[in-house]
Amino acid sequence: MMKRTAYLTLTLLLGASLCACNPDKPKDIEEGPSGLLTADPIEWDGTKNAEITYQLLVYSFADSDGDGIGDFQGIIDKLDYLDSLGATALWLSPIHPAMSYHGYDVLDYAAVNPDFGTMEDFRALVAAAHERDIKIYIDYVLNHSGSDHPWFLDACASAGSPYREFYTFSENPAADIEAGRIPMIASEGANGYDSGQWFVASNDAEGVMEFVMDWSNPAAPTVTVTRTDAPADPENTAPATDNDKFLYAGDPGQYFKFYDDGGGMYSLTVDFNSPWGFLIRTEGTDDWTPGTKYGAENSENAVIQYGVKMPLFSSEDNNAVRDILMPGTLFYHSHLWTSWFADFNYGPAAQAEQSPAFQELVRIGQGWVDAGVDGMRLDAVKHIYHSETSDENPTFLAKFYDAMNGYYQGSEPFYMVGEVLSEHNVVAPYYAGLPAAFDFSFWWRLSSGINSGTGNTFVKDILSYQQEYAAVRPDYIEATKLSNHDENRAGSDLGESTAKMRLAGAVLLTAGGEPYIYYGEELGYTGVKDNGDEYVRIPMNWGDSYNTKLSSYTDKSEITLPTASVSEQAADASSVFRVYKDFAQARHACPALAHGRMVRHDLYNETLASLPALCAWIMESEEGRVLVLHNFSGGEINFLLHDTVTGTVSVQGEVSMDRGGDVPRLTMGAYSSVVFNI
């Protein structure tokens, strides 16, 4: 051992080092040959003690055949890279044939997208990953299929279709919801109706129609609609009067002026194509705000019958008057306000396992288990049943998980993680249905803390969220993350600062939970969603022929890849990549980081107002304890280190220690991190 000096300087100049983290063999802080002090590092032996999942989009990751689209063989060829990064599982974006490049509008749940390869290629990927102790999780979309799925097309074509029960249909959505006739939107009552979430499945209400209004008794007007073979009337250009009446067609927004036939009678013949029906207005304007509108009294009586008088009710008497719906129009529900998704119907949550859709998706899911899949990521689980805060979704998810886990024959339980894009308090109840859930609050508090230079409240917040999760499921799995495919890249949210990105990666890999790394995050990728999701899903820059091309699988123009390739970043000690790789290896090598629990520090916490930038906690397990310290600010901080440290596990940024006094003084440079054995 080199002679210890009074002033120990641990300055790794944006590099990172790690040690064994073996409590039975304490490591001392030593001087390196250049005068810098290192931590007696050892090589990681490759044993994966932690759980670190790598999220990749198959189409963006690695292209083995030169067609510009990522594929299964490309992932196989890059498994050594993922293995060296410490990945224990891969979450693959949807691998099924789909309407869109992203895959969330599935066309066949039992098949693989031919752009990615064959089913044999997928099985080869699973086998190659398992050889490296890497599990495979697939994205499984339970809320909806694509609206071009053969099941849905068949369901729309015939009321007798065996798939009619698979989806949520209605001829009068508002009335059916209010009456509780739609199980997927039952718990909210009338408040569950949102016209923007309903789309036309089939529409017989097209063609030339005659509208006749009897306004002879202004207190009780009526309207009659009749199909006709007569030609549509020309536009009514008569001068405006106080008696003018207008027909408003809801989709698309159009308005037509009635002809005044005298004696309080009005008529109009139009070529009608508005599945959402119509209203009557008394002012001639395309502005919906002023004037009086007339329509159906309520949702239950909103559908008109051809040739039958229908009473009109005004907004002056009833502000909730409804559009008058045309007969023969069938609507389907799509919770994400797009006609490309068709929501499944599982019936009441308490009996969901009896529904044909549930049974079929379980059957197909079990087929993926037979193909070697180790787990599933479930998309947008708070939108399966309409209410995100009732117990319906957790109830459904528990049934689905039990069906999959009961079939799985692995040495550990089947893995299933749900996406609940909400704060912790909304996420917590979902642990009643699933063993794992993404902790979006983790990233939102972390990015806010780093950008504001405030670290001392982070641990208090995270521990309070963990208590919420544990109250629902004691063995909860907190899936921590920075960004993902639906959010701005972490690098952009951190102002494209390499130092901040390095710090965020170090926090992710030293905190509790089971971390996810979004592909490219380890390379410091940036990207914002302003021009579309594609710009946070850009190709991986391998620096070789495996680069994919955005323009090969979307209609967006080619973009510029990040300048530094994987190989260039791996060789750069100051890169974001080196932090991810070194801290991931430290997490595997150190039992306290690998599977310890996060503990609040007695001194360095939210009560230490003099050091708001310092973020500190202890990770402890039966095998040992480590002290984790991060500087969330862009300035230097220094403080007395009252813990007895026996060695350094990992460091990023500039950190130095002065042992000249009775108590060592630690100086941490901007956005730096250090983990000590204690």
- How far is Cα of residue 218 from the mean position of the Cα atoms in its chain? 53
Q: Helix 498-510 vs helix 440-452: angle between axes, to the nearest 10 degrees?
A: 140
- The Cα 5–Cα 660 span in angstroms is 9
Q: Which of 33, 44, 31, 83 is nearest to 582 (CA)?
A: 44
- The Cα 484–Cα 444 span in angstroms is 12
- Asked if 385 and 433 touch (Cβ cutoff 8 Å), the reply is no
- The Cα 144–Cα 168 span in angstroms is 10
As to burial, measured by CB atoms within 10 angstroms (0-12 exposed, 13-18 middle, 19+ buried), residue 73 is: buried
What distances in angstroms separate CA 211 from CA 259, 300, 302, 324, 618, one per listed residue? 10, 22, 16, 12, 75
- The Cα 36–Cα 447 span in angstroms is 31
Measure the CA dihedral 589/592/597/603, to 10°.
Answer: -130
Could you tell me the sign of the dihedral formed by the alpha carbons of 244, 245, 247, 248, in that order? positive
Instruction: Determine how β-strand 637-640 pairs with β-strand 665-668.
Output: antiparallel
Catalytic site includes residue 343? no
Point out the catalytic residue in the list 176, 210, 379, 392.
379
- What tokens appear for 63 in the block? 């292209």
Residue in this structure with the two tokens 């930038």, named with its chain if needed: 613
Catalytic site includes residue 486? no
Q: What is the residue type of 54? A: Y
Sheet holding 253-257, edge to edge: 253-257, 246-250, 278-281, 293-295, 313-314
- The Cα 493–Cα 516 span in angstroms is 17
- What tokens appear for 535 in the block? 């710009």
- The Cα 305–Cα 227 span in angstroms is 11
Could you tell me the sign of the dihedral formed by the alpha carbons of 504, 505, 511, 515, in that order? positive
- Asked if 231 and 269 touch (Cβ cutoff 8 Å), the reply is yes
**Which phi and psi angles does 532 have, rounded to 5°?**
130, 155
| 127-146: b (≥16 Cβ within 10 Å) or e | ebbeeeebbbbbbbbbbbbb
Point out the catalytic residue in the list 323, 419, 478, 534.
419
- Asked if 649 and 21 touch (Cβ cutoff 8 Å), the reply is yes
Q: Helix 458-472 vs helix 440-452: angle between axes, to the nearest 10 degrees?
A: 170
CA 111-114-115 angle, to 5 degrees, is: 135
What distances in angstroms separate CA 487 from CA 240, 421, 483, 527, one per listed residue? 52, 10, 6, 9
Q: What is the residue type of 171? A: E
User: Residues with catalytic annotation?
Assistant: 379, 419
